Amino acid sequence: MAIQLPEDNKMSADYEAQNYLSSKKNSRLRKLVPFITTAIIVSVVFFNCSSLFSVDTSAFGVNPVRSGCKRTVPLVPTFNKSISTILNDPLYKELSIERLSGAVQIPTEVQDKNPDPLKDPEFYTHFVSLHEYLHKSFPLVHSKLQLEKINEFGLLYTWEGSNPDLKPILMMSHQDVVPVNKETWESWNYPPFSGHYEPESDLLWGRGSNDCKNLLIAQLEALEKLLEDGFTPDRTLLLSVGFDEEASGIWGAQFLSPHIHERYGDDGIFIIIDEGAGIVEVDKNVYVATPVNGEKGYVDVEVTISGNGGHSSIPPEHTTIGIAAELITLLEGNPFASEFRTDNPIYGTLQCMAEHSTKLPKNIRKQILRAPICKKARKDVNKFLSEQPALRDLVRSTLAVDIINGGVKANALPEDTKFLVNHRVILHSSVNETVQRDIDYAMEIAEKYDYGVSVNGILLKKQTANGIINLKTINPLEPAPISPNDGPVWDLLAGTVQDLFENNVFQKTPEESKEIYVTTGLFSGNTDTKYYWNLTKNIYRFVGSIIDPTIMETVHSVNEHVDMEGHLSAIAFVYEFIVNVNEHGNDLA
Ligand SMILES: [Zn+2]
């Protein structure tokens, strides 16, 4: 997996310093080039940061000695009929509020397990209402684009481009929302399916307002506007909209993806943009956009301790519940170690923080920037990240014991105790490596209490008179391939963000001087894109909105809401991105 080191590692170190500095507009910093280069050389001598011994050789095809935080060249579209209207016209905003609110009012809740839509269409009645609502709200989209219903309720819109040689753009979202717990209903500021808009705060409230009816509606609003403006794409555009993303997409995305694959084949899509991160203000008037270009892997391990039943008046020293408890304690007592690497997409976000935000400790900012060429710096950054509850899971695998069952009666020994460990797998690890740890600890307990062990039906240690510990892996998913953070496709995405915000959104308040940088990010969870890997290497999870972190805390929780200014820029982003690909990306296959 390791990439080849450059022949001259010293050169890489200098290149890093120069590259980082050349990205700066600030001429004062340019004058510091010789100083910083000298400082790096000094640090090589005094802090054992010789690049020869400590360049981060981790792979994934991302160059480790290149600043990941850049101010990209803004990509200005010529076809620009409505970007200003979308962002600034009060009447457009009013209609947009109405369209989003209407969608939030349809309670398309899904549970963890949902019935086969062919066998139980009744369960999906609200999705039919949503389809009717979309049809009514977006008349041009529904008269000009082809709409296919995949596996009954999945939506695939196709806007045929004039040039069939160009691979289509694919945008994704989902119609479903996580259910609202009835007991929390009273805690909502406004009823969860009211779609209430509050003019004073500019917030629109309700389940799905932020995850992700807002994105679905934004995409359709952008398309409706483009059609109204007479735009004709050269490249085909697809909208693929699942209906059970919150339940792993098994009826939605899992059917949509092969349908698209059958039509366009392996690597047949130009780019995929799905729900994801947005833009955050990392310091006063400094913004960082983080299209997420990687996702951790996933696996559940179901552990069953099978022992002997009997009367509880003559118990063994440990029941299967006791054994399970000890195994759980062992697992939780040995969390996965953090391992920060510079090819982790989160490093892009960290670089932007280090370069432009005073929110991180000064020393850590310095170490982040030195990380590609200095082992000690990586160690320091790793230590820092491992101590931050909000960040540590982006640099390590995790485990969470989520379900447990055992015992039925006070006077009967529990024959079986079963629990489930949910794992999220860090990028440089694998499902196998993650599960192996569970197996090792199960073996340790099995030795101690004289039990057998089996994994997925394969016997590792013979069953004993006491019983056996069975491990079963469920829903394994390797970490997602990392999408490129440079090259022409990335530049189209980053350049659009740069232009939209720098030259449009920020111009709403010209008295403030605002900056935006575009870099990469990582998800610890998975979106529906997990079914789409074979369609393109360019998969980004991104919404064109400035997102207040406090808003994100309400997603999947009480008082979910979205701010309408953010929603408008999300529409404008989709509009502008489609135009920019058409105007600047037609020489790309
Ligand atoms: Zn979502």
539 phi and psi, to 5 degrees? -115, 120
Give the up-direction half-sphere exposure of residue 4: CA atoms within 13 A in the CB hemisphere: 3
- Would you tell me the crossing angle of helices 213-228 and 90-104 to the nearest 10 degrees? 140
The answer to the question of whether 274 is labelled as a binding residue is: yes
Run of H or E residues at 570: helix 564-584
Number of structural domains, the chain?
A: 3
- Helices and strands of the chain, counted as H and E runs: 18, 19
The pLDDT averaged over each successive group of 10 residues in the chain (589 residues) is 31 34 42 45 44 44 56 95 98 98 98 97 98 98 98 98 97 97 93 97 97 98 98 98 97 98 98 97 96 97 96 94 98 97 96 94 96 96 95 96 96 97 97 98 98 98 97 97 96 98 96 96 95 98 94 90 98 98 92
287: in domain: no
Range of the domain at 348: 9-55+340-386
* 324 and 376 assigned to the same domain: no
Residue 167 and residue 272 in contact, taking contact as beta carbons nearer than 8 Å: no
- The whole-angstrom separation of Cα 19 and Cα 16 is 5
55 token code pair: 């360049």
Which of 176, 275, 438, 499 is labelled catalytic? 176
Could you tell me the CATH number of the domain that includes residue 448?
3.30.70.360
44 token code pair: 């090589």
Which pTM does this prediction carry? 0.88
* 377 and 270 assigned to the same domain: no
**Residue 242's beta-bridge partner residues?**
174
What is the pLDDT at residue 247? 96
193: in domain: yes
* 169 and 239 assigned to the same domain: yes
What is the pLDDT at residue 68? 74
Contacts of 145 by beta carbon, 8 Å cutoff, 6+ apart: 157, 158, 159, 223
Amino acid residing at 88: N
* 529 and 574 assigned to the same domain: yes
Rounded to the nearest angstrom, the distance between the alpha carbon of 425 and the centre of ligand 1 is: 20
Q: Which residue, 452, 477, 502, sits at the end of a domain?
A: 477
SS3 call for 205? strand
62: in domain: no
514: in domain: no
Rounded to the nearest angstrom, the distance between the alpha carbon of 173 and the centre of ligand 1 is: 7
Amino acid residing at 266: D
* 209 and 301 assigned to the same domain: no
Q: Is 245 a catalytic residue?
A: yes
What is the pLDDT at residue 385? 97
What is the pLDDT at residue 551? 87
What is the pLDDT at residue 167? 98
The answer to the question of whether 556 is labelled as a binding residue is: yes
Residue 373 and residue 24 in contact, taking contact as beta carbons nearer than 8 Å: no
61: in domain: no
What is the pLDDT at residue 67? 67
179: in domain: yes
Which of 221, 224, 244, 245 is labelled catalytic? 245
The answer to the question of whether 174 is labelled as a binding residue is: yes
Residue 256 and residue 154 in contact, taking contact as beta carbons nearer than 8 Å: yes
Rounded to the nearest angstrom, the distance between the alpha carbon of 174 and the centre of ligand 1 is: 6
User: Residue holding tokens 């629109």?
Assistant: 204
